[in-house]
Amino acid sequence: MFIAVDDTDSREGMCTTFLATELIREFDDFDLLDYPRLVRLNPNVPWKTRGNGAIVITIGYGKRKNRKIGNLQGEVYIHEEDTEIPKKREFLERVKRKVEQWAELDNDNTNPGLIIADERPSERFYRKAVRDVVDFEMVQKELDRGSYLYKGYDDRRGLVGALSALAWRPGDFTYELLTYRKKDRWGKERELNEKDIINMDGALKKAFDNYDHEEKEQAIAPNSPCPVLYGVRGEDPDELKQALKMIDGEKPERWLIFLTNQATDDHIQEKKISEASPWTSAKIGGKVISEPRIIEGGHILFEMEDVTGKITAAAYEPTKGFREVVKKLISGDKIELWGGIRKDPKTLNIEKMRILGLEEKVEKVSNPECPDCGKRMSSMGTNAGYRCKRCRTKAKEKEAERKKIERGLEETCYEVPVSARRHLSKPLTRDNTCRSTSRRSS
């Protein structure tokens, strides 16, 4: 039996993953049969709360403890399934009580949805919700058709996320170990030692995005007043547990490992410029057709085109040092960009960039020498060629002595720093298409 919940948090507090820990505790008369899942959905929808993540837990009767995945003031294990439990109406009451206890129901932007199901819906709900905008009608139709127990609050948008998370089949996936604070610490400053985080980042070989080496700042603890103390991301759930011993300071009250679609690029679709619609994310190949320009606020914009049209690409101020890379692009460079599409004006917000071909950049060193008398010739104006003042011999513009300018760029992949990365963005360290040529900056 699956329990899916979405949209219980707000910018001011709470975290839907904390609710997962509460639900596991609530249903301790059953066994956990799978990792709890944290499923991130389209980061570009305008009404998202914080990280646009929904959670799913799977319970039933197990026969044997398989592996330890958490401690919620009591050890949490995944069990091998023995028998299923069919959903019952009383379970809905139990989940509702927990949601109503913890969700930020007063917040206008928080619209929780919860679903209890015996089966997963079609994967198309997930694919649509991670890449695009899901029509509520489509979700309502499925809820009416299937044998779900469900409850939506306020505008019921949380039902879209809950159903879509339930529909996720992990193709590519990662894990996140999340730790939570004692309730009396919520909203207070987190006491973590940056050195521990740097050491942990170096020691855990399959973990990623835990420390921002470019901005020199930790990336595991949120800045919001939510119950999360820190979260460590990686590919090996057993290795992640080592972080608990390596990070000193404030002691978590509970911890739990989630299976997630974070760092998978599941939100990205390859598109032509004319097909890239607002509120989706795309990977687009094309040619740079304008010099990058800096606008107020420190954002960098340039234009790119493919055979179907052109689009503005942007590296916003929070992408920090990545902007220095973007600034070096020139007209004629061939690139691929990954990013979210904004509406009005249609802009691609760059998450990652691959340089496929660098245009040669040259600079004039000096005017040509006269082929007849050897004197340095004079310019006749911009692009108008040269003339020798002594013997009146003329020379074309291209005769001037030029030298190639070092571009300071390579034909490889570049990405925004950890601090500016989307939950769904696949970092270069785990991207096979870029791995061969990219270097991890540190």
Q: By the criterion CB under 5 A, which residues form the site for Zn ion?
A: 370, 372-373, 388, 390-391, 393
- Give 199 or 393: the residue with its C-beta nearer to Zn ion: 393
Residue type at 168 in one-letter notation: W
- Give 256 or 370: the residue with its C-beta nearer to Zn ion: 370
- Give 314 or 370: the residue with its C-beta nearer to Zn ion: 370
**Least Å distance between CB 388 and Zn ion?**
3
Backbone angles phi, psi at 168, to 5 degrees: -70, 125
- Give 43 or 368: the residue with its C-beta nearer to Zn ion: 368
CB proximity list for 54: less than 8 A, separation 6 or greater? 4, 5, 6, 7, 16, 38, 39, 41, 158, 161, 162, 164, 165
**Least Å distance between CB 364 and Zn ion?**
19
- Give 84 or 401: the residue with its C-beta nearer to Zn ion: 401
Burial of 374 (0-12, 13-18, 19+ CB in 10 A): exposed
- Give 370 or 420: the residue with its C-beta nearer to Zn ion: 370
Q: What is d(CA 17, CA 228) in angstroms, rounded to the nearest whole number? A: 9
Angle of CA points 326, 329, 335, to nearest 5°? 90
Angle of CA points 289, 316, 133, to nearest 5°? 90
**Least Å distance between CB 370 and Zn ion?**
3
Does the bond joining 170 to the residue before it have cis omega, within 30 degrees of 0?
no
Angle of CA points 17, 129, 92, to nearest 5°? 50
**Least Å distance between CB 371 and Zn ion?**
8
**Least Å distance between CB 380 and Zn ion?**
14
- Give 100 or 401: the residue with its C-beta nearer to Zn ion: 401
Q: What is d(CA 396, CA 5) in angstroms, rounded to the nearest whole number? A: 71
Residue type at 429 in one-letter notation: T
**Least Å distance between CB 378 and Zn ion?**
10
**Least Å distance between CB 395 and Zn ion?**
10
CA neighbours closer than 13 Å in the CB half-sphere of residue 286: 27
- Give 75 or 372: the residue with its C-beta nearer to Zn ion: 372
Task: Output Rg (C-alpha) for the chain, integer angstroms.
Answer: 27
**Least Å distance between CB 389 and Zn ion?**
8
**Least Å distance between CB 398 and Zn ion?**
18
Cβ atoms < 10 Å from Cβ of 433:
14
Residue with tokens 């925004």: 416
- Give 389 or 403: the residue with its C-beta nearer to Zn ion: 389
DSSP symbol at 290? S
